[in-house]
Chains A and B, each alone.
Chain A
Amino acid sequence: MTQLGEGRTQAMSLRALTKRFGATLAVDRIDLDIPTHSFYGVVGPNGAGKTTTLSMATGLLKPDSGQALIHGVDMWREPARAKAMVGVLPDGLHSFDRLTGGELISYAGLMRGLPKDTVRERRDDLLAALDLDSAGSTLVTDYSAGMTKKIGLACALVHAPRVLVLDEPFEAVDPVSAGAIRRILQEFVASGGTVVMSSHVMALVERLCDHVAVVGHGHVLAAGTLDEVRAGEDLEARFVGLVGDIADQRDLAWLRQS
C-alpha cells in the first residue's frame, strides 16, 4: 500500500475523520496531510471543529470513523506507539493544579517513561527557557492564564516529541514570552520537527507558518503552503472570503458614548 510511503513524508495524516455530537456534525470527513518538517497552521472561525479535530488526532477524543496517522502509525490502533511521538498542548483543559510548575513538568516526563536524571535536567532547562524559574515552586492553581499556557507547553516538550500539536499556544501569553516560545518552536522545526498549531490570529500564522489549512463547518476549506492558500491576498481577507463574513452587520448605535 502507499500508506507506508506516505507515512514517511507525512508527520500527520487525517483520513476521513468524523465526529458527531448529538445532532451536530462537528467534524465531517476531514482529510489533511501535514508534511514532516513543516510549521502548520490550522485556522477557522469559532466552532469550526479545530479543537475536535486536533483532539482526535492526539488520542484525546475517539473519532466516530476515519483514521489519524502519526508518521504512519494509527493513533487509535497503536496508541502507545503513536502517542510517544506526539507532544500535546490542549486548549481549555486544566492541569493537575495542586502540583507546582516544576512538579508538573516532572510528572509529564515520568509519565512519558523518561529516567529520573533526564527529567530533572529537562525540567530545569524548560523552566529557564520559558522564564518560569521563579514560578517553578508555585502551585499551578495560582498561575495566570499565560503562565498556565507556558507550563503546558513545557509538558508537551519534555519528551522531545517528533510532532507538536498545540491548540492556541500564544493565547494570553505576553509578548516577551511569545518571542521565547516562537524561537523554541522555530528551532524545533529547523531541526526536523513538525509543529501543528491552531490559532485565531492571522498575522501570527502568516509570520510563523509555512503551511496553513482553513477549517469551517467541519470541512477543510483550503489547505496547502501559505502562498497557495493566500492566493495573492492577505490571509485575513482570504479567510473571511472562505468562511464568509457576518451576515447582519447591525449598527450598535446605543453603544456610542457621545
Chain B
Amino acid sequence: MVATVLRLKYTTVRHQLAREWWRALLLIGGAVWSLSLVPAVLWASVQLSDESADVRADILLVVAAICIAGWITVPLLVTGLEDTLDPGRFATFGVSARQIAGGLTLAAFLTVPALFFAGAFVVLTLSWRDSGWGVLAVALVGAGLTVAVMVLGARVAVAWSARAVNDRRTRGVLLLAVGLALVVLGSVVWIALRDGIDSALQYEAQTLMEWLGRTPVGAGMVAAESATYGRWWSVAWRLALMAGAVVVLALAWRDSISHALVNPVHRGGGRRRRADAILASARDLPWGAASGPSRRSRLARLWRTDEPTRAVRARMLVSWGTDARYLVAASGVVALPVIFFAIAMPVLGLDTRWAFVAPVMLAASIGWGRHNDVAYDHTALWLDIVSGSRGGQVMAGRAQAVLVWAVPATVLAAVGILAWTGRWYAAPGLVGATLGTLGATLGVASVTSVLLPYRAPAPGENPFGAEVGSLGASLGAQLLSSLATMLVLPFVTVPLVLALTVHAGWGWVALVSGLALGAAFGVGGVRLAGLLYDQRAGSLIARVS
C-alpha cells in the first residue's frame, strides 16, 4: 500500500510536469537553490566544530527551534504551499487510515524541502565528529528525530487547523487562541527585551534555551552535548522524549487521516438562517426611482449603491463571516505586522518611529491579500456573469465588503500604535498613509484578481491547500501583484516618512494625499477591474475552474 500511494503521488506529479513544463523548471529551480545552500551548511558545520560543546549545542538548539517554528507556521500563514495528497480523496476507495498513513507519511518526507532539511541537519550534526563515535551517533539520531518532528508537526498543524477552521464550534476558539498566542508572544518578547538585547541574551535567553532543551523542540540537539559529558541518563531520556513526540505526532497524523476519510468537509454543519441577509441589504425604493441618476450625490455615486452592488456586498460579508477560506485570509493579514512589530523591531533595536510601519503593513497585507479575490468564487461565478454586464457592480461590492471590516481594523491599529508611541502629533499622517495604502492596494488587487486569477480552494476544501496544479500560476500572479503594489505604495506613504523625519507639518499633507490618492487608486482600480471583468466574462470561468 505504501508503494501504491507513493506511485500515485509521483504519477500525479509526472502528469502535472508533462502538462505544464514550467512546473519542472520550478522543481529543478527549488532543488538547485537547495543545493546552492550546501556550501553554506558545510561552512557552518566546520565553524560549529570549532566551538565548545555547550555553545555548539546552544546554536543547534536555536536553529532547530527556528526551523520547527517555520515548518509549523509557514504552511498556515502562506496559504497555497501545501499540495500533499489530500487524504479525503481516498475516502471512496474503502481503505483504512492504517493502510495509507505509511505511504502519505513517506510521501511527506520525500519532498524537496524535507530532504533538504534532513540533509542540512545531518551535515550540521557532523560537527560532533571530533567527540567520538558514540556522541556522533547520538547527535545523528537526535537530528533525525528533530527533522521528523518538523515534517510530522507541519502535517498535523495543517490537518488540525483545517479541521478547526471548518468547524463552526471550534472556529471561534481557534481564532481566540491564535490571537492570545500572538499577544503572549509579543509581550514575552517585549518584556525580555526591556533592558536591551544584550541583557536579554545573557539572562532570559539562557533560561529559555535550557527549557527548550527539555522539550521535543530542542532535546534532540542537546542530547549530543550530554553525551560529550558522559551524562548517559540525560541522553536516554532526551532521545526517548523525542521518539515519544514523533510517535505521538504520527498517531495524531493517522487520526487526522482517518477523520478525513469519514468526514467530508463539504458541509455547512446543518446551520439554518431565517432572515434573508441579501434582501435586507436592498433599499426599499428601487434605485433611481426617488431621484434621477444625475441628482444622486457625488459620494453616493462613488459608493455605487445600486441593488446589485449591495447584493454583492451583502453576499461577500456573509462569506467574510462564515467561509473558512475567508476567515483564514482575514486572520493571516496580522502575521507580517505582528512579526515586524514584536520581533523584527526589538531584535534590530529600531527607533520607535518604525512602529508606524506596522499599521501601513497591515493595510497593505489586507489589500494585497485580495489579489485572487474573484477566483475564490469560481464555483458560483456563473450567476454573476449570466446576470448581465455587472462587472462594475461585482467588483465594487467585493471591495466594499473588504472596506467594511478593513477600515475599522486598520484605523484601530493606527490608533493603537499612536497610543504606544505617544506621538499623537503624527496621527493625521499615519491615518492618511494607512487608509491611502488600503485603498491603493485594494485597487491594484481588484485589477490583478480579474487579470491574473489562479485556482483557489473550492468552498469547504482545506483553506490552507493549493488546488493541485496552481502553484506556478499563483507564484506568477503573486509576484506581479506584489510588484504593482510596491509601485503604488510610495505615493501614499512618502509624506508620512517626511512627517516623521523632516517636519510634522507634512502629516497634514499625508492625510490629504493619502485619502485622495487612496480613494483615487481604489476607485480607479475597482472601475478598471469592472470593465475588464465584463470584457473577460467569457473566459473567467474557464480560467479559474
Contact = CB atoms under 8 A, between A and B. Distances in A.
A3 interface: no
A103 interface: yes
A29 interface: no
A110 B537 contact: no
Interface string A20-46: 000000000000000000000000000
Interface in B296-312: 307-308, 310-312
A79 B307 contact: no
Contact of B388 (A62, A80, A93, A139): A80
B276 A100 contact: yes
A107 B315 contact: yes
Given A79-B537, A96-B315, A111 B384 contact: yes
Interface of A: 58-63, 76, 79-80, 83-84, 86, 88, 90, 93-100, 102-104, 106-108, 110-117, 119-120, 123, 137-139, 141-142, 155
Nearest to A75: B538
Contacts of B86: none
Q: Which 3 pairs from chain A and chain B are nearest by CB?
A: A62-B538, A115-B286, A94-B379
Contacts of A115: 282, 285-286, 289, 307
B534 interface: yes
Given A63-B538, A97-B268, A115-B282, 12 more contacts: A97-B460, A98-B319, A98-B459, A99-B315, A103-B315, A106-B278, A106-B311, A107-B383, A110-B308, A110-B310, A123-B279, A141-B267
A63 B542 CA distance: 12
Nearest to A58: B386
Nearest to A97: B459
A76 B286 CA distance: 28
B132 interface: no
A95 B279 contact: no
Contacts, number: 149
Interface string B379-422: 11011111111100000000000000000000000000000000
A90 B323 CA distance: 24
Interface residues of B, number: 51
A138 B270 CA distance: 7
Contacts of A60: 382, 385-386, 538, 541
A137 B389 contact: no
Contacts of B278: 99, 103-104, 106-107, 110
A123 B377 CA distance: 23
Contacts of B312: 111
B231 interface: no
A256 to B, nearest CB: 22
Interface in B75-130: none
A142 B270 contact: yes
Most buried by A among B286, B310, B312: B286
Max chain A CB contacts within 10 Å: which of B289, B311, B545? B311
B266 interface: yes
Interface in B315-349: 315, 318-319, 322-323
A107 B388 contact: no
23 contacts: A59-B537, A59-B538, A60-B541, A80-B389, A84-B388, A88-B386, A93-B382, A93-B541, A98-B319, A98-B459, A102-B276, A103-B276, A103-B277, A103-B278, A103-B315, A103-B318, A104-B278, A108-B383, A111-B390, A116-B279, A141-B267, A141-B459, A141-B460
A58 B388 CA distance: 10
